[in-house]
Amino acid sequence: MEGVGFISVYQGAEKVTPTAVITGASSGIGAATAIALGRHGYRVVVGARRVERLERVAGEEGVALPLDVTDEQSVSDFVREVARRFGRIDVLVNNAGGALGLNPLEKAIDDEWIGMWKTNVLGLMWMTRACLPLLRKAKHGHIVNIGSIAGFETYKGGAGYTAVKHAVRAISKTLRLELNGEPIRVTEIAPGLVETEFSLVRFHGDRKAARAVYEGLKPLTADDIADCVLFAVTRPAHVDIDEIVVRPVAQATVWQVARKPSRKRA
């Protein structure tokens, strides 16, 4: 990674520091992405519900603002404050999302499905719609949507999550059509197994169930995904990385994973 310190882009004849907005940035992929972009010279604006964690992620140079992507008013207030402070957005990373539960469809829990749709789909739509005017004020804008290999594949018990991640993929592809001709790039990054708080949230705090997801293999880390985001946004302006699919070596599909047998104590 290149040196720390603000990089500069030109807005007409003016030299400016690029601004990157990252949602769901209090932990995991969002936090790692904010730190990576900040180290590369972006002014980062991080949003999430856990503001005390956000302030540590933002550091001295970044800005931490409360954001609940499932609440349209919260999104509006967040983007209004970004506009007031900076006037434009160069990079928007729609990272907020996640899975809830692992029930078969016949035992689907309404609140889990509604929660996943509001976080992964409606939240992404509200953020993107609100940020587009500010992205258009940048010389080159970039939208990065954090999807999943669950947007390409399905698995038992995953109907709710795979549905929302298929939707993220459809939205990303549609945005490319709708923004064609404008200097705004769209990238979807689709990770496989990444060891973050993802599974802990999915299983409602059951740490044993969450650990079992990653047992017997070396999963991806949040930093691995942050590297993908950094690569995509730092390409020359005429280069659009449409999508990056990234999995741990042990994972062939969303459901087929090679695990080493655990060693039991004698």
Catalogue the active-site residues.
161
Torsions phi, psi of 14, nearest 5? -90, 135
